[in-house]
Amino acid sequence: MGCCYSFFCNDDSSSQAGEPTERTHLLVNPVSINTTVVHANSEDYIFRNANTLPKKTDEQSALNRILQETATNVIDVAALDSHNLQHHEYLERMKHYNVKVQQVMGNNRNALSYKVKLSLLQDIPMPEKVMMSEPINPEDIKLINSFLSSAVASIQDIKVEHKENLVEPFGINC
Amino acid sequence: MVEEVRKLLQDILQKIQGLHCILITDRDGVPLLKVGTDKAPENALRPNFISTFGLAIDQGSKLGLGKTGTLICSYAQYQVIQMNKLPLIVTFITSDTCNTGHILALQNQINPIISTLTLAVAES
């Protein structure tokens, strides 16, 4: 039986590695292929180079890879709870963040300030004071209006008189 | 500047009925900014409760939920709405009757603050 096992094992490794060795069969035995398929699914990683070069490190890394893949895919609810922050660590980090936040906010003051503003209108702390203040003198309003109207009239009077050509040719002699 | 940001959050807190607390924490639940009323339940402010969000979305992605953006937990008296802004987590604690959509819409308003605060965590 031992012989038989080693025979399959050899065949397994040679056929999977894809490289012919001195033990490789010239004619492929269909029965042995069937057995390799069974092996290939579960022990593919481990027996890949089992006979040709039995490298411990390869085997170890393959096993580690399997372990890692399994660990990332498994949802271990019991292990989730294990990562708890210690109280002093929590306080330390909170202090650290306080300082950091102050710094970062200070550095990005310009970027933040216009986004932080809620509205363009500002609160008036004592509205009744503003409401109760005396209205503007009607004569002042008249004065402002007359100045404004004369300003508007003068702006409308501005005219551009063109005397020279607007487009001036430069250095075109030919 | 921190005070101004805190004031903005406080304003949001007052404007939305039923909103008890806004917490901006790192993924372990350590707060960077926190505003809240006394109605916010103490247990929900604990770091190990808040950090559960990070674990839950990690594990959820293994189940095929994909990359989770927001988690809304509805309880008998409270809602806990957590947003994935990793390395930060934004947590809103509200009453059960609070308008959830309104809270979700706050994202746009809060995003500039988050992006600045991310620097504080990233640099450390």
Minimum CA–CA partner of A70 in chain B? B62
Residue A35 pLDDT grade (very low, low, confident, very high; cuts 50, 70, 90): very low
Neighbours of A14 (CB within 10 A): 19
Sheet holding B31-36, edge to edge: B31-36, B19-26, B88-95, B78-85, B70-74
H helical segments located in chain A: 2-17, 30-47, 56-73, 77-80, 87-107, 109-116, 127-132, 138-157
Containing structural domain, residue A24: 16-73
Residue B94 pairs in a beta bridge with B19, B79
Name the residue facing A104 among B11, B62, B117 (closest C-beta): B117
> Which residues does chain A have within 8 Å of residue B8's beta carbon, measured at their own beta carbons?
116, 118
How many separate domains does chain B show? 1
Tell me whether A174 touches chain B (CB under 8 Å).
no
In a domain, A56, yes or no: yes
pLDDT at position A114? 66
Report, as an integer, the average pLDDT of B62-89: 90
How many separate domains does chain A show? 1
Q: How far is A65 from chain B (nearest CA, A)?
A: 18
Take residue B29 and report the two structure tokens written for it. 């639940």
Among B16, B32, B35, B114, the strongest candidate for a mutation testing the A interface, having the largest count of A CBs within 10 A, is B32
CB contact under 8 A, A116 and B113: yes
CB contact under 8 A, B28 and A85: yes
> Which residues does chain B have within 8 Å of residue A106's beta carbon, measured at their own beta carbons?
1
Domain CATH code at residue B27: 3.30.450.30
pLDDT at position B123? 63
In a domain, A41, yes or no: yes
- pLDDT tens digits for B17-63? 999 999 999 888 888 989 999 888 888 888 888 888 888 888 888 88
CB contact under 8 A, B30 and A97: yes
> Which residues does chain A have within 8 Å of residue B123's beta carbon, measured at their own beta carbons?
100, 104
Question: Which region among A35-49, A132-146, A148-162 has the lowest average model confidence (pLDDT)?
Answer: A35-49
Distance CA(B42)–CA(A48), nearest Å, equals 57
- Which percentage of chain B shows pLDDT scores above 70? 98
Tell me whether A106 touches chain B (CB under 8 Å).
yes
Distance CA(A15)–CA(A6), nearest Å, equals 14
Total residue length of chain B: 124
> Which residues does chain B have within 8 Å of residue A94's beta carbon, measured at their own beta carbons?
30-31
Where is pLDDT greater, at A62 or A27? Answer: A62
In a domain, A57, yes or no: yes
Tell me whether A27 touches chain B (CB under 8 Å).
no
Containing structural domain, residue B37: 2-111+118-122
In a domain, A52, yes or no: yes
Where is pLDDT greater, at A143 or A47? Answer: A143
In a domain, A35, yes or no: yes
- pLDDT tens digits for A45-93? 445 554 555 567 888 999 999 999 888 888 877 777 666 778 888 888 8
